Amino acid sequence: MTRILLENVSAEHKSGANLIDVSMLVEDGEYVAVLGPTGSGPSELLKVIAGLLPVTTGKIFLDEKDVSDLPPEDRHIGMVFEQFNLFPHLSVMDNLLYGPRMRRSDIEKKKKIAAEIINMVRLNGREDAISRELSGGMQQRVGIARALVADSQLLLLDQPYRALDAKIRAEMRLEVRNIVKGIGISCLHSTHETEEAMLVADKIAIFNAGRLQQIGTPEEVFNFPNTEFVASFLAESNIWDIEIKDNVIILDNTLNIKYNADLFPEDKYSRMVLRQHSIDLFSEKDQIPNDWNGFHGKITRVRLLGEFIRITVNVEGKEFIIRELLNPDLRDPLLLVDKELWVGFPVDEVKLF
């Protein structure tokens, strides 16, 4: 297992996607998802750790050893890219043994290790198959197995499932996590998908514009976001400019919104984030709990999003967008349009920045 420490790491990439003053710690055996929009830093972070992108400033430590200037081949890191990069003319076993052969390792010993890992990634019986005979999910497992056979101290997964179809992608997420956790190797997994990060990670590191915004458990970053970006990136949100007077939020000089002053003790906030799933609909005002905010409104738009519906409610000229599970009894959500009702949400769901 490997402990990874980055101290004030910055790096420049010719594509313009940079890392800026990144400091973070990954403990032995942790599975960390590195999450952010395209070009925000997750893939660049993995390339810097692997030695594929040079560090401009700062240091990288693997188990207290400074590897900042080491070439990739001396870092003992396994990296799996979005594209599987298998040798198309080689069998599964030969793909796994290619690296050890180039390094003149003990091949017989490596064959035994490879056989164990092939069993672990559920490719028994496919040792002699070549790439085109394997499904996308199988090819990705070969890529991961190849990294493990190479005695990697650390596994880096760079957008590993983006090229797979939805069904295989869903299966591979937990399958690979279970393999990695079973071996006990540390792993960083870059992704743009919030659901994927929340599903597989022990911790999530969230990036925007090359900067680390927050790192913590999925529960910590979701429930206690440090920045407006983190709050809105992890969940579809309503975001408004606000004023605060006497511990009450003033929205457009018309709506007075209560919030938890213990969570936000100062009045120096100018933005409010209210996640769409945090808002409930009520037919009567007295159905709203006493410690919630409640406002009368009228539904102006409804959109069906598969198992969810997206409802827009006009409250005194302000749009509240709500995301709810589709009620199986409501066969035509459009019947909600023009209906007057009440919207309500807990004070603790109000987040200020």
3-class DSSP string for 95-113: HHHHHHHHCCCCHHHHHHH
- Which letter does DSSP use for residue 335 in this model? G
CATH of the domain at 100: 3.40.50.300
Residue 331 CB contacts under 8 Å (≥ 6 apart), including other chains? none
> For the chain, what is the mean pLDDT?
92
Instruction: Show which of 211, 232, 253 is a domain's final residue.
Output: 232
Most confident of 7-21, 70-84, 184-198: 184-198
- For 230-255, what is each residue's pLDDT tens digit? 999 999 999 999 999 988 999 999 99
Integer Cα distance of 106 and 127 in angstroms: 19
Reduced to 3 states (helix: H, G, I; strand: E, B; else coil), residue 213 is strand
The answer to whether residues 221 and 145 belong to one domain is: yes
Integer Cα distance of 258 and 140 in angstroms: 50
Query: What average pLDDT does this structure show over 153-161?
Result: 90
Instruction: Name the more confident of 272 and 178.
Output: 272
The answer to whether residues 24 and 144 belong to one domain is: yes
Instruction: Show which of 189, 217, 232 is a domain's final residue.
Output: 232
The answer to whether residues 212 and 257 belong to one domain is: no
8 has a pLDDT exceeding 80:
yes
Long-range CB contacts (< 8 A, 24+ apart) of 122-125? Answer: 122/175, 123/92
The torsion region of residue 252 among left (phi > 0), alpha (psi -120 to 50) and beta comes to: left
Q: What is the DSSP track for 233-244?
A: HSS-EEEEE-EE
Q: Tell me what percent of the residues of the chain surpass a pLDDT of 90.
A: 65
- Judging by DSSP bridges, how do beta strands 255-258 and 308-315 pair with one another? unpaired
The answer to whether residues 300 and 152 belong to one domain is: no
Token pair recorded at residue 122: 């559920």
Reduced to 3 states (helix: H, G, I; strand: E, B; else coil), residue 256 is strand
Instruction: Show which of 197, 232, 267 is a domain's final residue.
Output: 232
Where are the alpha helices (H) located in the chain, listed in sequence order? 42-50, 92-102, 107-120, 136-149, 166-183, 194-200, 218-223, 228-233
What's the Cα-to-Cα distance from 319 to each of 42, 195, 308, rounded to whole Å?
Answer: 34, 26, 19
- Judging by DSSP bridges, how do beta strands 248-251 and 243-245 pair with one another? antiparallel
The answer to whether residues 133 and 281 belong to one domain is: no
State residue 183's pLDDT score: 83
Q: How confident is the model at residue 1 (pLDDT cuts 50, 70, 90)?
A: low
**Exposed / middle / buried, residue 222 (Cβ in 10 Å: 0-12, 13-18, 19+):** middle
Query: What average pLDDT does this structure show over 303-310?
Result: 91
Reduced to 3 states (helix: H, G, I; strand: E, B; else coil), residue 83 is coil
The answer to whether residues 292 and 213 belong to one domain is: no
**Exposed / middle / buried, residue 250 (Cβ in 10 Å: 0-12, 13-18, 19+):** middle
Token pair recorded at residue 297: 């409104």
- Judging by DSSP bridges, how do beta strands 248-251 and 255-258 pair with one another? antiparallel
The answer to whether residues 159 and 210 belong to one domain is: yes
- Which letter does DSSP use for residue 327 in this model? P
- What's the total number of domains in the chain? 2
Q: How confident is the model at residue 328 (pLDDT cuts 50, 70, 90)?
A: confident
Q: Which domain holds residue 29?
A: 4-232
CATH of the domain at 281: 2.40.50.100
Query: What average pLDDT does this structure show over 142-162?
Result: 85
The answer to whether residues 210 and 71 belong to one domain is: yes
Q: Which of 151, 165, 179 is nearest to 2 (CA)?
A: 151
pTM of the model: 0.87
Integer Cα distance of 248 and 257 in angstroms: 6
The answer to whether residues 199 and 168 belong to one domain is: yes
The answer to whether residues 176 and 41 belong to one domain is: yes
The answer to whether residues 190 and 318 belong to one domain is: no
- Judging by DSSP bridges, how do beta strands 186-191 and 154-158 pair with one another? parallel
The answer to whether residues 290 and 226 belong to one domain is: no
Q: What amino acid is encoded at 41 in this protein?
A: G
CA 98 from centroid of its chain's CA atoms: 32
Q: How confident is the model at residue 306 (pLDDT cuts 50, 70, 90)?
A: confident
Round the CA-based radius of gyration of the chain to a whole number and report it: 25
